[in-house]
């Protein structure tokens, strides 16, 4: 029999051995994570990235690292900026300008630059999926411009943000660190430093390196020549001056950075100008910081003299700028009005007449001036200080249907009218008004505020519902035409306008027309269809970086054609719509959509020529029918014969786009939010019994009994084949 003391001794011996082994492993791990030797090992592959303003001056600094010895450098997209000149600096002091942006992903904030340099020291990419909380890591970057600074810390967790899973770090991240590599002890890159917490200094986030790998497998390359024009102002419409960064995306213009004029002033003039009084101009605007100032200019000499109507610190100003400095600026009127919505989009409008200036915000007249010091001149946009601002739907001399209403709103309650009259007036008159209401004034005013909030919400819902009904009518009218007369581009843009009421459809139609003109400029009128097809593929996917959204497939933006044009990223079907419409404008005949299950291709079938199948989701790759069948088999059990499949009609394409939106919305937001797309599909295809049954079932589940009853009654009245009418009668009786 073993003695108790012997057992205790054995346990002590085992514990001692385990403790020694743990110490040994820990020591080896700590020894292997030698910051000094790791830094020496990787320093030549870590680079400083500087992006410049249009004058070539440094506008920001970040970090990157070499991932391929043939000249590929990875970083964060926000480090290089869009339409910016970029310079890459190595540890040996050499400087290089990239020849291309090899790949990028806006949602993941990733970019890969291509340099014209070979034999570079490249870093190894690790497996970020194998990471666990508590692991020690090291980061190398350029915080506050201090090049190749080193900091170590721990992985403190993983967090899901809007578009991606991020690595949470117990590491301080400062400006200049962005895009830098995050290493494990083996000097493998686990992620790219991305952003810092606004709450505490010792907390940051990194994009997992595995998010970069699919991008490398399917690059969406663009030469720097093209990149520098990405988002640039349309030079045929606008001219900017006095610094700041002005950029545009079809119907939206953005400005950021401080202008070179006094007070950070910067101007952007529209090329068309008035020749007689009266004239009107209008723009929607949103300020990133309400302490800044940005808005409309008119009566401008193109230099220092102009009128300006703009919000500043929550107030609205009409200013006459008579020279380059504040000493020659005259604030003609400054008002505070409840019609201006802080932190939101607002519509600014000006009507300049022979003897007066009328200024409106959101349709309400807020300023009237008799100033006549400046006469006819240029019109446009302006910003001041270090303001970031977005403008959309700029209109000069709008058509009658687009003119702002000058009629005052007379539907509010008498009490509200009295309050509005006294707001911004003499404080004593407001006090007298409140005293006249009596002891109940606080309660009455609070009740009034709550009532107005409820009414505002109701009116906004009604406005959206009314807008969507109009879109239903427009789409139904468009798609009821014969197939050749249907305008697929306009129909696809109307799908987007359904969710973006302010979308300027014509602006995007004009943008697609300009794209076709750019392609045509490279060819003679005798160019064959096959040459034009290849040029179209090159233009979209090689020169301009359009690409399939592999990393963010179910993002609704991929289904909105305006967003696809802006972001150059989309689903197979939206990219196909753009391709088909450009082909039509180039005079290429017989280009249609091939609706494979789970995927969508473009088919070019010239008379007497060889059929070409084009996978626009994969950079315009051309497929055989067998390859298309294999692709379709991934989504459907039964065999698919793409060669025998009919081309999609324009109506089919729009229904499929809406079906995608319905599915994505249902998955992400729930049944109720998917209903508007089902409503739109039924408006287009009123006799589709399956859609009616689906809507009735959803309405029944979410408590919209009247709508469910209406659809059930419609089905029983028409008695379509294939439906179990007894079950429909039973469902109707239950209501």
d(CA 309, CA 317): 6
HEC secondary structure over 629-689: HHHHHCCCCCCCCHHHCCCECHHHHHHHHHHHHHHHHHHHHCHHHHHHHHHHHHHHCCCCH
Q: What is the predicted pLDDT for the residue at 310? A: 97
Segments making up each domain of the chain, as ranges? 39-225, 238-402, 484-654, 687-735
d(CA 610, CA 631): 21
Contact 115, 96 (CB under 8 A): yes
Say whether pLDDT at 171 is over 70: yes
Q: 39-225: which CATH topology?
A: Thrombin, subunit H (2.40.10)
Report the chain's mean pLDDT, rounded to a whole number. 84
DSSP state letters, 138-159: EEEE-GGG-TTEEEEEEEEEEE
Helix (H) / strand (E) containing 50? strand 46-52
What are the two backbone dihedrals, phi and then psi, of residue 211, each rounded to the nearest 5 degrees? Answer: -70, -20
Return the beta strands (E) in 188-312 as ranges.
188-196, 204-208, 222-223, 238-241, 243-249, 252-259, 266-270, 279-287, 293-300, 306-312
Say whether pLDDT at 14 is over 50: no
Percentage of residues in the chain with pLDDT exceeding 70? 83
Say whether pLDDT at 19 is over 50: no
Contact 709, 686 (CB under 8 A): no
d(CA 547, CA 35): 39
Q: CA-CA distances (angstroms) from residue 565 to 225, 230, 609?
A: 19, 11, 31
Q: Tokens in use for 679?
A: 């409503």
* Tens-digit pLDDT profile for residues 308-318: 999 999 999 99
Say whether pLDDT at 624 is over 60: yes
d(CA 408, CA 466): 22
Q: What is the predicted pLDDT for the residue at 368? A: 96
Query: What kind of architecture, by CATH, is found in domain 238-402?
Result: Sandwich (2.60)
Q: Tokens in use for 714?
A: 């419609």
CATH class of the 484-654 domain in this structure: alpha beta
Contact 590, 605 (CB under 8 A): yes
- Higher per-residue confidence, 538 vs 107: 538
Say whether pLDDT at 617 is over 90: yes
pLDDT band at 427 (very low <50, low <70, confident <90, very high): low
d(CA 587, CA 524): 13
Q: Mean pLDDT throughout 17-22? A: 44
Q: What is the predicted pLDDT for the residue at 20? A: 45
* Tens-digit pLDDT profile for residues 632-670: 888 876 788 999 999 999 999 999 999 999 999 998 888
* Tens-digit pLDDT profile for residues 569-600: 999 999 999 999 999 999 998 999 999 999 99
Contact 138, 35 (CB under 8 A): yes
> Of 328, 398, 337, which is closest to residue 367 (Cα–Cα)?
337
pLDDT band at 189 (very low <50, low <70, confident <90, very high): very high
d(CA 193, CA 198): 15
d(CA 658, CA 664): 10
* Tens-digit pLDDT profile for residues 20-44: 444 443 443 444 556 777 777 888 8
Q: Mean pLDDT throughout 70-91? A: 87
Q: What is the predicted pLDDT for the residue at 647? A: 95
Torsion, Cα 493 494 499 503, to 10 degrees, reads 60
Residues sharing a CB contact under 8 Å with residue 614, sequence separation 6 or more, in sequence order: 533, 537, 579, 601, 602, 603, 604, 620, 621, 622, 623
* Tens-digit pLDDT profile for residues 501-529: 989 999 999 999 999 998 888 766 566 78
pLDDT band at 721 (very low <50, low <70, confident <90, very high): confident
Query: What's the sign of the alpha-carbon dihedral 437, 438, 444, 446?
Result: positive
pLDDT band at 277 (very low <50, low <70, confident <90, very high): very high
Q: What is the predicted pLDDT for the residue at 580? A: 97
Percentage of residues in the chain with pLDDT exceeding 90? 49
Q: What is the predicted pLDDT for the residue at 201? A: 53
* Tens-digit pLDDT profile for residues 89-144: 998 889 999 999 999 888 888 999 999 999 999 999 999 999 888 898 888 876 55
Q: What is the predicted pLDDT for the residue at 592? A: 96
Q: Mean pLDDT throughout 149-164? A: 79
Contact 579, 540 (CB under 8 A): yes
Residue 414: half-sphere exposure toward Cβ, Cα within 13 Å: 2
Say whether pLDDT at 676 is over 90: yes
Task: Tell me how far the alpha carbon of residue 364 is from its chain's centroid.
Answer: 30
Residues sharing a CB contact under 8 Å with residue 566, sequence separation 6 or more, in sequence order: 249, 250, 252
- Higher per-residue confidence, 551 vs 474: 474
* Tens-digit pLDDT profile for residues 354-395: 999 999 999 899 999 999 999 999 999 999 988 889 999 899
Q: CA-CA distances (angstroms) from residue 145 to 82, 175, 231, 528, 731?
A: 21, 8, 27, 53, 68
* Tens-digit pLDDT profile for residues 93-105: 899 999 999 998 8
d(CA 735, CA 719): 19
* Tens-digit pLDDT profile for residues 440-458: 556 666 766 777 777 777 7
Contact 393, 502 (CB under 8 A): yes
Q: What is the predicted pLDDT for the residue at 311? A: 96
**How would you classify the pairing of strands 547-548 and 569-570?**
parallel
Q: Mean pLDDT throughout 318-323? A: 96
Q: What is the predicted pLDDT for the residue at 220? A: 85
* Tens-digit pLDDT profile for residues 217-268: 888 888 888 887 777 888 888 999 998 888 888 889 999 878 889 989 999 9
Residues with catalytic roles: 78, 109, 178
Residue 168: half-sphere exposure toward Cβ, Cα within 13 Å: 11
Say whether pLDDT at 409 is over 60: no
Q: What is the predicted pLDDT for the residue at 2? A: 46
């Amino acid at each position: 029999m073993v003695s108790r003391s012997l057992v205790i001794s054995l346990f002590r011996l085992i514990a001692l051995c385990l403790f020694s082994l743990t110490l040994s492993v820990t020591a080896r791990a700590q020894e292997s994570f030698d910051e000094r030797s790791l830094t020496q090992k990787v320093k030549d592959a870590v680079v400083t990235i500087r992006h410049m303003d249009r004058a070539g001056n440094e506008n920001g600094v970040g970090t990157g690292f070499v991932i391929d010895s043939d000249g590929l450098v990875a970083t964060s997209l926000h480090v290089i900026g869009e339409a910016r000149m970029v310079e890459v600096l190595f540890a040996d002091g050499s400087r290089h300008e990239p020849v291309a942006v090899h790949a990028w992903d806006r949602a993941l904030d990733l970019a890969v630059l291509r340099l014209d340099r070979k034999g570079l020291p490249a870093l190894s990419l690790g497996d970020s999926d194998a990471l666990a909380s508590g692991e020690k890591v090291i980061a190398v970057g350029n915080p506050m411009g201090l090049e190749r600074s080193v900091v170590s810390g721990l992985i403190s967790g993983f967090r899901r943000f809007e578009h991606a899973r991020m690595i949470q770090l117990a590491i301080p991240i400062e400006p200049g660190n962005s895009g830098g590599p995050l290493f494990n002890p083996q000097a493998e890159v686990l992620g790219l430093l991305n952003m810092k917490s606004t709450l505490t200094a010792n907390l940051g986030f990194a994009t997992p390196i595995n998010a970069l790998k699919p991008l490398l497998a399917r690059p969406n390359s663009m030469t720097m020549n093209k990149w520098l024009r990405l988002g640039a102002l349309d030079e045929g419409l606008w001219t900017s001056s006095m610094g700041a960064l002005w950029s545009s995306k079809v119907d939206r213009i953005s400005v950021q950075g401080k202008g070179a004029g006094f007070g950070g002033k910067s101007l952007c003039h529209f090329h068309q100008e008035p020749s007689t009084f009266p004239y009107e101009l209008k723009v929607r605007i949103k300020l990133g910081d309400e302490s800044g100032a940005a808005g409309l200019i008119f009566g401008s000499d193109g230099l220092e003299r102009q009128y300006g109507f703009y919000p500043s610190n929550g107030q609205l100003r009409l200013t006459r700028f008579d020279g380059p400095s504040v000493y020659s600026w005259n604030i003609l009127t400054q008002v505070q009005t409840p019609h201006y919505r802080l932190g939101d989009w607002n519509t600014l409008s000006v009507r300049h007449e022979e003897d007066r200036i009328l200024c409106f915000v959101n349709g309400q007249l807020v300023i009237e001036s008799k100033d006549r010091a400046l006469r006819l001149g240029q019109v446009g946009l302006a910003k001041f200080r270090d303001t970031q601002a977005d403008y959309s739907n700029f209109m000069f001399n709008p058509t009658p249907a687009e003119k702002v209403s000058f009629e005052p709103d007379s539907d509010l309650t008498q009490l509200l009218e009295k309050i509005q009259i006294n707001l911004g007036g003499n404080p004593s008159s407001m006090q007298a008004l409140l005293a006249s209401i009596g002891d109940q004034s606080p309660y009455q005013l609070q009740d009034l505020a709550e009532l107005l909030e409820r009414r505002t919400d109701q009116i906004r819902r009604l406005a959206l519902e009314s807008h969507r009904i109009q879109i239903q009518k427009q789409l139904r009218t468009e798609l009821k035409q014969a197939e050749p007369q249907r305008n697929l581009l306009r129909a696809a843009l109307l799908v987007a306008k359904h969710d973006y009421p302010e979308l300027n459809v014509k602006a995007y139609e004009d943008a697609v027309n300009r794209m076709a003109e750019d392609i045509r400029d490279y060819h003679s009128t005798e160019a064959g269809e096959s040459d034009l097809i290849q040029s179209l593929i090159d233009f979209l996917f090689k020169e301009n970086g359009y690409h399939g959204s592999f990393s963010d497939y179910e993002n609704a933006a991929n289904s909105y054609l305006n967003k696809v044009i802006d972001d150059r990223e989309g689903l197979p079907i939206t990219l196909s719509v753009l391709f088909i419409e450009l082909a039509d404008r180039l005079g290429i005949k017989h280009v249609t959509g091939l609706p494979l299950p789970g995927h969508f291709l473009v088919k070019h079938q010239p008379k007497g020529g060889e059929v070409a199948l084009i996978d626009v989701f994969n950079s315009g790759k051309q497929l055989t029918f067998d390859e298309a069948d294999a692709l379709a088999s991934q989504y459907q059990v039964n065999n698919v014969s793409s060669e025998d499949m009919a081309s999609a009609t324009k109506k089919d394409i729009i229904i499929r786009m809406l079906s995608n939106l319905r599915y994505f919305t249902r998955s992400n937001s729930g049944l109720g939010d998917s209903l508007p797309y089902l409503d739109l599909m039924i408006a287009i295809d009123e006799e589709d019994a399956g859609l009616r049954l689906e809507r009735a079932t959803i309405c029944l589940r979410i408590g919209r009994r009247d709508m469910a009853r209406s659809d059930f009654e419609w089905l029983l009245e028409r008695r379509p084949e294939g439906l179990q009418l007894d079950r429909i009668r039973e469902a109707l009786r239950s209501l």
